[in-house]
Structure 1
Amino acid sequence: MRSSVEIHDIETGETYIVWQTDDLVEAPNFAPDGSHLIVNADGVLFRLWLDEGEPEPIDTGFAIRCNNDHGPSPDGLWLAITDKTMFGKSAVYVLPAEGGMPRLVTKALPSYWHGWSPDGAHVCYCGIRNDVFDIYTIPVAGGEETRLTFGEGRNDGPDWSSDGWIYFNSSRTGRMQIWRIRPDGSGLQRITDSIYGDWFPHPSPDGKSLLVLSYDGDVVDHPRDHNVRLRLMDADGGNARELFELFGGQGTMNVPNWSPDGSAFAYVRYSP
């Protein structure tokens, strides 16, 4: 599977190719200062500098089985990762952004990181407990997890907006669609009611727009080898429009991928 890491400019509609490789690369995040992207490949995280240069491995200590659920804290000081080296199941850790030894955040496993709170004090993630997929939050400094959903279908892909909503995708009505909820579990709202299977909602930095990856409605789960479309809409689901189609899915934009100023976003396009 050939990977092309790209950046799409919302206003101009232009695409900039950052890196292409015959290796499987996934889930680009922008660094908070906009200088580079963070991606994963073969269990390792890399920096991709936007002023070119070779990919630079990030030191993640013992964590050498990292997956595509990772991202920097809002202040740029920390990096959240999801790794299964230690326990054989995915767990959420944080480590210094420049690299270092990971510190375990979640005790219940498996757990898959997906977003930081705006103040950087909490993270949200998908946890699988007794084969049930639900949305959780937990303080980064340590503590007990807070469960926000309760087994109504599969709940996955949470991302925290700057105005305090946690967006996620849920199959509670049959087809996977986008919902949002407050961190205290209140205010549950359905955002999309589309013909597609909608995954991986990412609110823009200003909280006004929402980027969504959409499969054809009959596709089950989130495979990486399908024609998908990236759609942009208002934060409440209004004015949805398709930006473009591509071959991808899993790994294309699993985690927060907006540029710091909200003018662009990063993603991965695949080809056999």
Structure 2
Amino acid sequence: MAGNTIAPRQLQPGQRCEVWIASAATGARDLVYATDQVLLEAPNWTPDNAGLVLNGAGVLWRLDLGTGSLGEVPVSDIPDLNNDHVLGPGGLIYLSANDGHIYRADLAGGPATRITAEDGFFHFLHGVSPDGERLAYVGIEAGDFTTPGRLLTLPAGGGPSATIDVGQGHCDGPEYSPDGEWIYLNTESFSSRPGHAQIARVRVDGSGIERLVASETVDWFPHISADGALATYLRFPPGTVGHPADLAVEIVAVTVQDWTAPLHTWPLYGGQGTLNVNSWSPDSARFAYVAYPMEKPQ
């Protein structure tokens, strides 16, 4: 698998990367960092409420929200990173790399440890259970991206994976609820239309799959706030296949009690990299995302 890697994404000519923070209560948003030098993706909010962790150029970065400074997190012994990384208890971060494997490292830096086995799959991490015991990921067989992704979990320390059946359509973005009872995800299993992802959840034992949004848009990456009350997801235009970059998209905020009534929506130019992982602040008041505006959008 190591020979079949994916190159880190780069900004296009005339494009820049903007890191934003938005209020779920008011809809107000603030630009906290911008660059035309590196394509940053997928912010995680640090538990101390002081910074964001992002990937870019194959490595991990920390953006200090107090000073606005960006510095590399010195994680070693790992291939180039992609935008699937999540924080776990005890100062750990779990990382998907472009060799198709999942790794564990200290958020402060240091050597990474590979968790996944050579099982013929690419492994795309999205969730850590609240107790830190299990990881939820999407498996793509043999790195063949024409085949649907499958929902799997495995012990956080490594070991055999377990498959959770959510239908034959492609699924992505599996993330545990704060109470550890549900896995939220997007899935194409509710429609015969190519790429028509919708938001759903399934119990961790694989029972009770439930569609949460029925829409004409293509909906990806549900993220639940730490208090379990709110959620965000990314809305792609109708007919979108996959979760490509460089489109006019929207971030939607809802209460978990009513996914049909958005609290706020935020239009932006982006998609891939904007909201791939949970980016809620520890107090559940704000979330972070990334936009990629062009001088002349394509």
Amino acid at match of 1:24: L
2:292 matches 1:259 = no
Aligned pair count? Answer: 267
Amino acid at match of 1:172: S
Amino acid at match of 1:82: S
2:222 matches 1:222 = no
Q: How far off its partner does 1:206 sit?
A: 1.5
2:259 matches 1:244 = no
2:100 matches 1:90 = yes
Q: How far off its partner does 1:53 sit?
A: 4.4
Distance in 2 (CA, whole Å) between partners of 1:126 and 1:132 is 9
Residue identity over aligned pairs, in percent, reads 37
- Which residue of the partner structure matches residue 113 of structure 1? 125
What TM-score do the two structures reach when normalised by structure 1?
0.93
Q: How far off its partner does 1:205 sit?
A: 1.1
Q: How far off its partner does 1:34 sit?
A: 0.9
**Structure 1 residue corresponding to 2:165, chosen from 149, 155, 178:** 149
Distance in 2 (CA, whole Å) between partners of 1:14 and 1:150 is 36
2:110 alignment partner, SS class: coil
CA contact (8 A) 1:110 1:128 kept: yes
| Structure 1 residues not aligned, in runs of 5+ | none
- Which residue of the partner structure matches residue 55 of structure 1? 70
Q: Which moved more, 1:102-111 or 1:19-28?
A: 102-111
2:101 matches 1:101 = no
CA contact (8 A) 1:8 1:14 kept: yes
Q: How far off its partner does 1:242 sit?
A: 4.1
**Structure 2 residue corresponding to 1:210, chosen from 231, 256, 259:** 231
**Structure 1 residue corresponding to 2:26, chosen from 7, 12, 28:** 12
Q: Is the alpha carbon distance of 1:246 and 1:76 closer, same or farther for their aligned partners in structure 2, counting shifts above 3 Å?
A: farther
Distance in 2 (CA, whole Å) between partners of 1:192 and 1:115 is 20
- Which residue of the partner structure matches residue 50 of structure 2? 35
CA contact (8 A) 1:31 1:76 kept: no
CA contact (8 A) 1:115 1:159 kept: yes
Amino acid at match of 1:144: P
Q: Is the alpha carbon distance of 1:151 and 1:105 closer, same or farther for their aligned partners in structure 2, counting shifts above 3 Å?
A: farther
Amino acid at match of 1:125: Y
| Structure 2 residues not aligned, in runs of 5+ | 1-14
Amino acid at match of 2:154: I
Distance in 2 (CA, whole Å) between partners of 1:241 and 1:56 is 34
- Which residue of the partner structure matches residue 16 of structure 2? 2
Distance in 1 (CA, whole Å) between partners of 2:33 and 2:218 is 28
Distance in 2 (CA, whole Å) between partners of 1:25 and 1:213 is 17
2:174 matches 1:158 = yes
Name the Cα RMSD after superposition.
Answer: 1.5
